[in-house]
Amino acid sequence: MVSKVHVHIEKMPKLRNPVMVCGLPDSGNVAKLVIDQLVKQLKAEKFADIYSSSLPPRVLIRQDGTGEVMKHSMFFCTNDNGRHIVLYTGDAQPANPEAAYALADKALEIGQSLSVDTVLTVGAYITGQFANEPKVFGTGTDKELLKELEAMGVSLISEGSITWMNGLLVGLSKLRNMKAVFLSGETSGYIVDARAARAVLLVLSQKLGIPIDLAELDQKAKDSENLVKSMEAMQGRAEKDEIGYIG
């Protein structure tokens, strides 16, 4: 079968010195939470829908009761310092490597046609553990960028790999001679983790020079935290029960 990628663009925006921020659904849904939050807060305007026959063959039912086939979307907005921001996210990642490459490359191609020269991709850094203060881990395509990340309190990654589209968006940027950075929020991978998303947003806020209202995400992060605590409590009780049982 041939995967078809269809791009629907009503009107291509004209942008000033844009930076592109990408995040496709991943473990803990960190990436999508971050981009959805940015779209909402920055009142970003959608200019592109990207359809692919390698996305899960599925119609999502929206809250108003109407259904729509799964897709990816691109948005744009201005930040206060006059630099445009392009945002890229979607309903799901595709099911095979070839389509992951094709979609990541298509999004970068659109970005590049808008004069994007720097790509920030966000995601999850999965530890299997609940962290008290989730850190932000990062990597990039050149050493200049790594220094910049460190200066913002990001911990550099020196081994391992970044999988699927959030990784490919970084790697394929390099092949297109664009600078790219990957920012990942520490998460257990077990829950939808607003705390990890919050940590990533704080770094983005600094990097992009945009104020970010964390109130909403703080509430979600609090919910995440309570969920973690109650899971830990259950585990604690379980351990006590075990002790009781042994004793």
Helix (H) or strand (E) holding 73: strand 72-78
Does 157 help bind a second copy (rule: CB under 8 A)? yes
Q: Which is nearer to a second copy, 95 or 231 (CB)?
A: 95
Q: Which of residues 45-74 bind a second copy (CB under 8 A)?
A: 51, 53-61, 63-70
* Helix, strand, or coil (residue 15): coil
| 112 in Cβ contact with 46 (< 8 Å) | no
Cβ 132 to a second copy shortest distance, Å = 25
**List 74, 77, 99, 204, residue binding a second copy (CB under 8 A):** 99
Does 20 help bind a second copy (rule: CB under 8 A)? no
Q: Which of residues 72-91 bind a second copy (CB under 8 A)?
A: none
DSSP per-residue codes, 83-141 = -EEEEEEES---SSHHHHHHHHHHHHHHHHHTT--EEEEEEEEE-SS--SS--EEEEES
Choices 28-36, 40-48, 133-141, 207-215; region in contact with a second copy by CB under 8 A: 133-141
Angle at 106 between CA 101 and CA 109, to 5 degrees: 125
**List 159, 177, 245, 246, residue binding a second copy (CB under 8 A):** 159
152 to 38, 145, 156, 207: CA distances (angstroms): 19, 11, 11, 8
What whole-number distance in Å separates Cα of residue 230 and Cα of residue 224?
A: 10
Cβ 20 to a second copy shortest distance, Å = 17
Cβ 182 to a second copy shortest distance, Å = 7
Q: Which of residues 215-244 bind a second copy (CB under 8 A)?
A: none
Tell me the two tokens of residue 226: 């309570």
Site size for a second copy (CB under 8 A): 54
Cβ 51 to a second copy shortest distance, Å = 7
37 to 32, 201, 211: CA distances (angstroms): 8, 9, 12
Does 109 help bind a second copy (rule: CB under 8 A)? no
Nearest to 37 by CA among 179, 210, 170, 239: 210
Q: Which is nearer to a second copy, 160 or 244 (CB)?
A: 160
Nearest to 8 by CA among 50, 42, 44: 50
Q: Which of residues 162-181 bind a second copy (CB under 8 A)?
A: 162-165, 167-168, 170-172, 174-175
**List 10, 143, 243, 244, residue binding a second copy (CB under 8 A):** 143
**List 14, 40, 46, 96, residue binding a second copy (CB under 8 A):** 96
Identify residue 184 by its one-letter amino acid code.
S
What whole-number distance in Å separates Cα of residue 192 and Cα of residue 24?
A: 14
Interface with a second copy (CB under 8 A): 1-4, 51, 53-61, 63-70, 95-102, 139-143, 146, 156-165, 167-168, 170-172, 174-175, 182
